[in-house]
Amino acid sequence: MKNSIGNVPGLAVIMVGQGRDSQTYVRKKLGACEEAGIQSKISTLPDNCTEDQVLNALSCFHEDPSIHGILVQLPLPQHLDEGKILNSVQLEKDVDGFHPINMGNLAMWGREPLFLPCTPKGCIELLIRSGVEISGKKAVVIGRSNIVGLPTSLLLQRHHAIVSVVHAFTRNPEQITREADIVVAAAGVPNLVRGSWLKPGAVVLDVGTNPVKDPSCEYGHRLIGDVCYEEASRVASAITPVPGGVGPVTVAMLLLNTLESAKRAYNFT
Query: Domain residues of the chain, as ranges?
Result: 1-92, 118-248
Residue 118 CB burial class (10 angstroms; 0-12, 13-18, ≥19): buried
Flag whether pLDDT at 22 surpasses 90. Answer: no
118-248 has the same fold as 1-92: yes
For position 69, what pLDDT does the model report?
Answer: 98
Nearest residue to 97 via CA among 146, 58, 59, 142: 146
**The pLDDT of residue 173:** 97
pLDDT at position 215 is 83
| pLDDT at residue 23 in the model | 84
Class of the CATH domain delimited by 118-248:
alpha beta
Average pLDDT across the chain, whole number: 95
Cβ atoms 45, 102 nearer than 8 A: no
Instruction: Assess whether pLDDT exceeds 90 at residue 72.
Output: yes
| Catalytic residue positions, numbered | 29, 73, 96
Looking at domain 1-92, its CATH class is alpha beta
Would you say residue 266 has pLDDT above 80?
yes
Residue 220 has pLDDT above 90, yes or no: no
